[in-house]
Structure 1
């Protein structure tokens, strides 16, 4: 393809994503732009907030959210039937500041002790991991002891709070923890307490650039992209 042909077909593509795939998109979007000639603008938010934005009338060309969020958008007729593509899966984990002691979280009882012993715990209030964590401490019967130690953000990378010293441990989806320099991943939650989120992509029904959106979707489904997903803490679908 010549430079003139690429320029003539170039599109400005708008993408909505949950925060769990931010590190992946930061690496893959520039590659896609170079290969396709398209320009991509990505907007990030926790899945719950992004879903509210879309239901409130915002739109884009491509969306990457959790499977339940995509299911809801499908019911509302917001995305193209048949465009759904599962990209990767991730779980929730715990991280500490690099060099800090790593608590044992290898079993339900060990995790319970770690949460009770932690001086402060960072998590989101609106993100999927934060919502899960709120239910988890209720399930473990330690909510009253843990809630006062919470250092919360509506969304974003809570690993930054352990790097700054504002929290001792951080609880979030593993790719988001791994995306923060200066943190070390302790590990995933025990299987009995784990929640797996599937990053799922679809094209909007009112996309202004549906062909470019489909091209990006295909690019994100390649073996090369799968290697990036894995390196960033997600398991390719």
Structure 2
């Protein structure tokens, strides 16, 4: 009997050795505003490195909370430093891997084709909305909504439109509300507006009307394999930089 068991074990070992090792995969949690650019960057990494990449997109707040609850993300790219800070404080990020990767702008958009306006303290945003709503990402949780609310408050416009704001789970959902005409106007990232043919940019919010828009990236605690390190390096490579720039992001990482 023992001889038979040894024979089965030897056979099983031969089978395992004969099966090619599967290429490593990486799981990335990324802010929804990164989708178009990150899809392209991930495909470039897969072609160059031979590793599969799965990217999950949502609002940074939702992704950070999932990571806090144990979601198996290898890499997180947040649309603002605050949610990455929270993971840092919770011991969820791998020390020495955090980098400020990208920058962005927020813009006022309209459904269809519309004439540009000067976005500033003197604009009658409430009047421009008419009977319609202003689409924004969640203003107290999602970075695009947080930045947008800060800008509107800074310009003295928030109180006049607060009751007219329709909030979406993430910035791409807010963008879609405007693109399909459910809301005549919205506040989104410049990169989102560039990715959607159904909207036009009315104007760009002054940079000093809101905190700087920064996208930090980091590996999660215990997930820094050679493959993850390679991916983090690729995000800062010339190939990735060109993709991010083409999609309208400012590249911050050296």
TM-score w.r.t. structure 2 length?
0.80
What is residue 205 of structure 2 aligned with on the other side?
Answer: 189
What is residue 175 of structure 1 aligned with on the other side?
Answer: 191
What is residue 3 of structure 1 aligned with on the other side?
Answer: none
Task: Tell whether the 8 Å contact from 2:28 to 2:73 is kept in structure 1 after alignment.
Answer: yes
Q: How far apart are 1:88 and its partner, in Å? A: 0.9
Deviations 1:113-171 (A, max 9, x none): 23442233111124212133334444544444312322221214122222211112110
What is residue 44 of structure 1 aligned with on the other side?
Answer: 57
What is residue 128 of structure 1 aligned with on the other side?
Answer: 143
Q: How far apart are 1:9 and its partner, in Å? A: 6.9
Q: How far apart are 1:184 and its partner, in Å? A: 2.1
What is residue 6 of structure 2 aligned with on the other side?
Answer: none
Secondary structure in structure 1 of the residue aligned to 2:149: helix
What is residue 55 of structure 1 aligned with on the other side?
Answer: 68
Q: How far apart are 1:34 and its partner, in Å? A: 1.3
What is residue 155 of structure 1 aligned with on the other side?
Answer: 170
What is residue 93 of structure 2 aligned with on the other side?
Answer: 79
Task: Tell whether the 8 Å contact from 2:105 to 2:207 is kept in structure 1 after alignment.
Answer: no
**Structure number with higher relative contact order (C-alpha < 8 Å, ≥ 6 residues apart):** 1
1:30 to 43, 47, 50: 43
What is residue 236 of structure 1 aligned with on the other side?
Answer: 251
1:97 to 103, 107, 111: 111
Instruction: Determine the C-alpha separation between the residues in 2 that align with 1:143 and 1:184.
Output: 22
Task: Tell whether the 8 Å contact from 1:96 to 1:102 is kept in structure 2 after alignment.
Answer: no
What is residue 30 of structure 2 aligned with on the other side?
Answer: 17
TM-score w.r.t. structure 1 length?
0.85
Q: How far apart are 1:194 and its partner, in Å? A: 3.0
Task: Tell whether the 8 Å contact from 2:111 to 2:183 is kept in structure 1 after alignment.
Answer: no
Secondary structure in structure 1 of the residue aligned to 2:113: coil
Deviations 1:157-209 (A, max 9, x none): 122222211112110222222222322223320233133221111111222x6
Instruction: Determine the C-alpha separation between the residues in 2 that align with 1:115 and 1:91.
Output: 22
- Give RMSD over aligned pairs: 2.2
Change (3 A) 1:140 1:89: closer
Unmatched segments (≥5 aa) in structure 2: 1-19
Instruction: Determine the C-alpha separation between the residues in 1 that align with 2:110 and 2:243.
Output: 23
Secondary structure in structure 2 of the residue aligned to 1:40: strand
What is residue 200 of structure 1 aligned with on the other side?
Answer: 216
Task: Tell whether the 8 Å contact from 1:14 to 1:60 is kept in structure 2 after alignment.
Answer: yes
Task: Tell whether the 8 Å contact from 2:121 to 2:157 is kept in structure 1 after alignment.
Answer: no
Task: Tell whether the 8 Å contact from 1:10 to 1:36 is kept in structure 2 after alignment.
Answer: no
Instruction: Determine the C-alpha separation between the residues in 1 that align with 2:201 and 2:232.
Output: 29
Q: Matched residue pairs, number?
A: 227
Instruction: Determine the C-alpha separation between the residues in 2 that align with 1:152 and 1:69.
Output: 19
Task: Tell whether the 8 Å contact from 1:151 to 1:166 is kept in structure 2 after alignment.
Answer: no
